[in-house]
Amino acid sequence: MQTLLVATRKGLFVWQDAGTGWAITAHHFPGEPVTAVLADARDGGWTAALRLGHFGVKLHRSTDRGAHWQEIAAPAFPPKPADGPDADDPTPWSVDLVWSLAAGGPDEPGTLWAGCLPAGLFKSGDAGASWSLNTALWNQPGRRAWFGGGYDHAGIHSIVVDPRDARHLTLAVSCGGVWQTHDGGATWTLTADGMTADYLPEGSTDDGNTQDPHALVQCAAHPDVLWVQHHCGIYRSTDGGLRWNAIAAPAPSGFGFAVACDPHDPQRAWFVPAQADVCRIPVDGRLVVNRTDDGGASFRTFSSGLPQTHAYHLVYRHGLVVSGDGRTLAMASTTGGLWLSTDAGEHWQLLSNDLPPVAALRFT
C-alpha cells in the first residue's frame, strides 16, 4: 500500500491507496501548521515539524505510522554571545521554521538533520531527543552575507545525504548558495560555480554565496547528478555540484520552486513552471508540469488532468515528489490542490481541491 504524507498549513494528512483509490486515512495536528515531514526509511519513523503561530517550532515523532505521536526536542540556537564577533549579528538566533528534515545514512541510526530558517543546520544523533547547531557552517564568514528570499532571513530548505557516503551532505540555502561537507559537517565548501543571479548588482551575479537555489535534489542511483530549480532558472550538475550547467529556460517558463528527479534515470527530472518571480502564478492560468528526459536538452510539457483555465496554483519547493518507482508523482499547491500521476507525470489525477496550503509532500 502506498502512503503519501501531506504537510499543510492546517495539519498533516495521510493519504493512502489500498488498491481502491487514494483517500485520506488520518489527519494529525488539525489546525496546526506543519512545515516539514520526514518518513525515515531506516526505522519507519515519522517526524513532523510544526510551526505554532504563538508558541514556536515543535517536533513530533511517531514510531507507529501516526497511531501515536510524541513531542521531541526541537532544534534551537545556543545563547547568542553578548560580545565577540556574533554580538552584532542581525540574524535572530531563534528557529522560526524547520524547512527541511533529512535522515542520516543507513550506517548512522538515529542521525537526523534539520535545515532551518534562520539558516542554521542542526544535527541529532538520538532520533530527535536532542539537537545541536552545526557551528562550522553557522560560523563560516560568508554566512553573514546570506539574505532572505521570500522570508526575512536566509534558510536551509534542501539537504541531501550522499547514498555512497553519509558524511557527504549537500545543502541549498535561500539565499546562500550550495554548500557541501565531506566530513560529516566539520568543514564546508561553497559549490555554486556556474550559477548566475540576475537579481544581484552587475559584477556580482556570479557570487556563489548569495545564489538562490529554490530547491536541490539528487539522483539516488547517480549521486553526482544534481538538479536545482534556481530563482533565475534551472541548473544541473554531473560532477557532484562542482560545476553547475545552466539549462535553457523551457516553455512556458524557467521560473518555479519545485524540482523532482528520477531516482534511477539521471537524465530525467520534473519542474512546475510559474510565470516569473514578480508574478508567481501559472503562465496564462494553466497549471502544467515540465519533464526532461535528456538532461535538460529538451522538455515536454504535460497538462492532462491539471486545471487549464484560471488556475492560480503555486507549487512550493517541497510540493513535488516522486516515489522510488520513478513513475508515481504527487504534486500539491499553496491553494490546496493535490494531484497524483502514475505515468511519470504525463497524466494527472486530482485527489483534492480543498486542502489547506500545502508545504511539503513525502511518499513512504
Q: Which residues bind other proteins (CB under 8 A)?
A: 52-56, 58, 71, 74, 76-80, 93-95
Q: Is 362 helix (H, G, I), strand (E, B) or coil?
A: strand
Number of Cβ atoms within 10 Å of the Cβ of 326 = 17
In angstroms, the CA 326 to CA 317 distance is: 19
DSSP summary character for residue 135? H
Nearer to other proteins, 133 or 315 (CB): 133
Strand partners, 177: 173
Nearer to other proteins, 76 or 220 (CB): 76
Nearer to other proteins, 23 or 52 (CB): 52
CB 89 to other proteins: min, Å: 12
Nearer to other proteins, 94 or 298 (CB): 94
Nearer to other proteins, 33 or 337 (CB): 33
Nearer to other proteins, 12 or 260 (CB): 12
Burial of 244 (0-12, 13-18, 19+ CB in 10 A): buried
CB 53 to other proteins: min, Å: 4
Q: How far is CA 67 from CA 45, 64, 72, in A?
A: 11, 6, 16
CB 332 to other proteins: min, Å: 20
Residue 158 grid cell: 534542501
Length of the chain: 364
In angstroms, the CA 73 to CA 305 distance is: 41
In angstroms, the CA 239 to CA 304 distance is: 35
CB 42 to other proteins: min, Å: 27
Listed residue (159, 169, 339, 308) closest to 240, CA to CA: 169
CB 92 to other proteins: min, Å: 8
**Cα 350 to the chain's mean position, in Å?**
22
Nearer to other proteins, 31 or 106 (CB): 31
CB 248 to other proteins: min, Å: 41
CB 359 to other proteins: min, Å: 16
Cis peptide before 141 (omega within 30 of 0): no
Q: Do 275 and 281 touch, CB atoms closer than 8 A?
A: yes
Q: How far apart are the first and last CA of the chain?
A: 9
DSSP summary character for residue 136? H
CB 79 to other proteins: min, Å: 6
Nearer to other proteins, 80 or 310 (CB): 80
Listed residue (133, 145, 141) closest to 77, CA to CA: 133
Residue with cell 554571545: 81
